[in-house]
């Protein structure tokens, strides 16, 4: 590995980009390169493999697409291929919205060239994508699943790919994506340039990533996993019941005009969005159980400022570039510490200031501890002074079950609590408990099946009633313990 060369100037005009590219860049109003651009562009221009870590919102897309287009222009493909425009550069992303966004940017940069680009992702009709692929494109932007579909349908031929970019590379290399990714890579020539970019790289992923790179140049503009210094971060101790009221209060007190609100589950996402909407806040939900049409509409409405709160799962955590979003709420502490860095990267973009608020409830001790380890910083838990005096919610501190909220303890303390087996031993050591209360005799009667079994309504031709939340969300409502299988 080798350090990137020192660049003395950071103006796009000093890059000697091909005229059509320079024109597009100028037209977009870009003059000065961001640090990641200044470091990555000259390296990518040499054709070397790159592993690039830079904070989100600092122009990574231009950092790889401009030099890539430049190389495609400079080195005309000399091979006699069946297609007149074989795919020469492939850009892979972990979400459809991100693929869409990157594809739009690539189109803008390539506007004055004769290079063709296209984007393919799931949830959309195959046919228009197929047509575009058959006509031939040099630059293909894609999500993994749909790309494999096109490969297997022989719509996309990747035998002449010279450049592969894995954006959000750590996500692309994680266990959920790796099999698809490996299959895609198996269709590509071994002789090629591979570029990996992300804001976060765990040590394990870094090692894995290196096995896909040949003699790479590592570019680290910021310490990996670092959050932008322009983002003011707060962690509030709340009960699960009080999160919504805390959210509304902070939005009002700080005069927040627009915010991302991240939650950990699709169902929670739909529910929270609905509840906030009912309370008169302009809210929309974005998660993977929505149709692609709804997803794109939700994002567009948020972008256009028609919606103030975008309640989203981690589908929106990475890369989405929406200007001037002043705040991000982590309604739930993210399961992966890395995702915290990505989520709060939705605000404070391009040097702007931003606010990141995370709600920490009783069972989040482990997640907060993980986060502290990643950020190499102690998290300072703050209390919220509620304006209203409705009763507070109850605390589930993960070790003592529910107790009334008097004062909020530090959930990290629960990590020092005795482990289950030790707890078991403690219980055994205790004097025997008082006799159990007498049971309701009803539950002791054996179950009596009805005399005639009626087939369920849906088998009689009736349509199942749509779920109250959203027709395409599977209900995850808990079965009452009494009826649970043993």
Partner DNA sequence: AAAAAAC
Q: Which is nearer to DNA, 339 or 397 (CB)?
A: 339
Secondary structure class of 259 (helix, strand, coil): strand
In the complex, least distance from residue 87 CB atom to DNA, rounded to whole angstroms? 16
Joined tokens for residue 238: 């709340």
Q: Which is nearer to DNA, 126 or 375 (CB)?
A: 126
Q: What is the DSSP letter of 58?
A: S
Distance in angstroms (rounded) separating the CA atoms of residues 344 and 366: 20
Q: Which is nearer to DNA, 155 or 264 (CB)?
A: 264
Task: Please tell me whether residue 168 binds DNA under the rule CB under 7 A.
Answer: no
In the complex, least distance from residue 462 CB atom to DNA, rounded to whole angstroms? 25
Write each residue from 451 to 480 as x if it is in contact with DNA (CB under 7 A), else as -, in one continuous string.
-------------------------x----
In the complex, least distance from residue 67 CB atom to DNA, rounded to whole angstroms? 26
Write each residue from 292 to 321 as x if it is in contact with DNA (CB under 7 A), else as -, in one continuous string.
---------------------xxx------
Q: Is the alpha carbon torsion for 118, 124, 130, 131 positive or negative? A: negative
Q: Facing residues of 329 across strands?
A: 261, 357
Residue whose C-alpha is closest to residue 120's, from 108, 111, 112, 130: 130
In the complex, least distance from residue 86 CB atom to DNA, rounded to whole angstroms? 21
Task: Please tell me whether residue 35 binds DNA under the rule CB under 7 A.
Answer: no
User: Which one of 60, 71, 146, 342 is in contact with DNA (CB under 7 A)?
Assistant: 146
Query: Which helix (H) or strand (E) segment is 210 a member of?
Result: helix 203-210
Task: Please tell me whether residue 288 binds DNA under the rule CB under 7 A.
Answer: yes
**Binding segment for DNA among 25-33, 49-57, 106-114, 331-339 (CB under 7 A)?**
331-339
Q: Which is nearer to DNA, 21 or 93 (CB)?
A: 93
Q: Which is nearer to DNA, 300 or 350 (CB)?
A: 300
Task: Please tell me whether residue 267 binds DNA under the rule CB under 7 A.
Answer: yes
337-396 positions binding DNA, by CB under 7 A? 339, 363, 366-367
**Binding segment for DNA among 102-110, 159-167, 194-202, 263-271 (CB under 7 A)?**
263-271
Distance in angstroms (rounded) separating the CA atoms of residues 144 and 395: 41
Q: What is the DSSP letter of 15?
A: G
Task: Please tell me whether residue 287 binds DNA under the rule CB under 7 A.
Answer: yes
77-136 positions binding DNA, by CB under 7 A? 94-97, 121-124, 126
73 vs 19, 88, 112, 435, CA distance in Å?
A: 11, 11, 11, 83
Task: Please tell me whether residue 336 binds DNA under the rule CB under 7 A.
Answer: yes
Task: Please tell me whether residue 271 binds DNA under the rule CB under 7 A.
Answer: no
Are 98 and 318 in contact, with CB atoms under 8 Å apart? yes
Q: Which is nearer to DNA, 144 or 393 (CB)?
A: 144
The site for DNA, by CB under 7 A, has a size of: 40
| Neighbouring residues of 162: CB distance < 8 A, sequence distance ≥ 6 | 71, 72, 77, 88, 89, 189, 192, 193
Q: HSE on the CB side for 254, CA within 13 Å?
A: 20
User: Which one of 7, 22, 83, 148 is in contact with DNA (CB under 7 A)?
Assistant: 148
Q: Which is nearer to DNA, 115 or 320 (CB)?
A: 320
**Binding segment for DNA among 8-16, 63-71, 335-343, 386-394 (CB under 7 A)?**
335-343
Q: Which is nearer to DNA, 146 or 412 (CB)?
A: 146
Q: How many CB atoms lie within 10 A of CB 46?
A: 12
Following DSSP, what letter does each residue of 85-139 receive, concatenated? S---EEEE-SSHHHHHHHHHHHHHHTTTSS--EEEE-TTS-HHHHHHHHHH--SE
Q: Which is nearer to DNA, 288 or 326 (CB)?
A: 288
Residue whose C-alpha is closest to residue 261's, from 199, 343, 337: 343
Distance in angstroms (rounded) separating the CA atoms of residues 192 and 198: 20
In the complex, least distance from residue 113 CB atom to DNA, rounded to whole angstroms? 27
Task: Please tell me whether residue 47 binds DNA under the rule CB under 7 A.
Answer: no
Joined tokens for residue 109: 């940069």
Q: Facing residues of 220 across strands?
A: 53
In the complex, least distance from residue 159 CB atom to DNA, rounded to whole angstroms? 20
Secondary structure class of 11 (helix, strand, coil): strand
Q: How many CB atoms lie within 10 A of CB 175?
A: 6
User: Which one of 5, 128, 176, 351 is in contact with DNA (CB under 7 A)?
Assistant: 176
Provide the binding-site residues for DNA, judged by CB under 7 A.
Answer: 94-97, 121-124, 126, 143-149, 152, 174-177, 180, 264-268, 287-289, 313-315, 335-336, 339, 363, 366-367, 476
């Amino acid at each position: 590995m080798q350090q990137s060369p020192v660049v003395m100037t950071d103006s796009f005009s000093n890059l000697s980009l091909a005229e059509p590219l320079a024109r597009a860049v100028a037209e977009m109003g870009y003059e000065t390169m961001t640090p990641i651009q200044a470091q990555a562009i000259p390296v990518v221009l040499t054709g070397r493999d790159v592993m690039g870590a830079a904070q989100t919102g600092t122009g990574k897309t231009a950092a790889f697409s401009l030099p890539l287009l430049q190389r495609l222009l400079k080195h005309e493909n000399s091979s006699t291929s069946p297609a007149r425009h074989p795919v020469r550069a492939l850009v892979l992303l972990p979400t459809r919205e991100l693929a869409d966004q990157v594809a739009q940017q690539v189109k803008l940069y390539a506007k004055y060239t004769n290079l063709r680009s296209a984007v393919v992702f799931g949830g959309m009709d195959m046919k228009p994508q197929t047509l575009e692929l058959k006509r031939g494109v040099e630059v293909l932007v894609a999500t993994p699943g749909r790309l494999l579909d096109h490969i297997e349908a022989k719509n996309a031929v990747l035998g002449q790919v010279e450049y592969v970019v894995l954006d959000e590379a750590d996500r692309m290399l994680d266990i959920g994506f790796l099999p698809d990714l490996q299959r895609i890579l198996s269709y590509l020539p071994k002789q090629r340039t591979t570029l990996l970019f992300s804001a976060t790289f765990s040590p394990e992923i870094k090692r894995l990533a290196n096995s896909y790179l040949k003699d790479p140049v590592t570019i680290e503009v910021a310490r990996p996993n670092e959050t932008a210094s322009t983002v003011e971060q707060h962690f509030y101790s709340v009960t699960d019941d009080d999160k919504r009221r805390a959210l509304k209060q902070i939005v009002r007190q700080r005069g927040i005009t627009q915010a991302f609100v991240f939650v950990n589950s699709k169902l929670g996402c739909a529910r929270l969005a609905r509840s906030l909407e009912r309370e008169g806040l302009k809210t929309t939900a974005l998660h993977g159980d929505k149709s692609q049409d709804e997803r794109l509409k939700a994002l567009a409405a948020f972008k256009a400022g028609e919606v103030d709160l975008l309640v989203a799962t981690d589908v929106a955590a990475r890369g989405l570039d929406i200007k001037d979003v002043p705040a991000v709420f982590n309604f739930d502490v993210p399961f992966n510490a890395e995702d915290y860095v990505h989520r709060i990267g939705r605000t404070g973009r391009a040097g702007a200031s931003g606010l990141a608020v995370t709600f920490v409830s009783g069972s989040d001790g482990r997640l907060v501890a993980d986060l502290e380890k990643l950020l190499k910083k102690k998290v300072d838990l703050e209390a919220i002074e509620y304006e209203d005096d409705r009763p507070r919610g109850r605390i589930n501190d993960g070790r003592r079950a529910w107790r009334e909220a008097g004062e909020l303890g530090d959930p990290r303390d629960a990590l020092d609590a005795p482990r289950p087996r030790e707890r078991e031993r403690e219980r055994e050591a205790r004097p025997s408990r008082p006799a159990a209360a007498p049971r309701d005799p009803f539950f002791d009667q054996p179950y009596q099946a009805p005399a005639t079994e009626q087939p369920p309504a849906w088998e009689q031709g009736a349509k199942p009633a749509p779920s109250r939340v959203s027709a395409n969300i599977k209900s995850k409502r808990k079965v009452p313990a009494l009826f649970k299988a043993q």
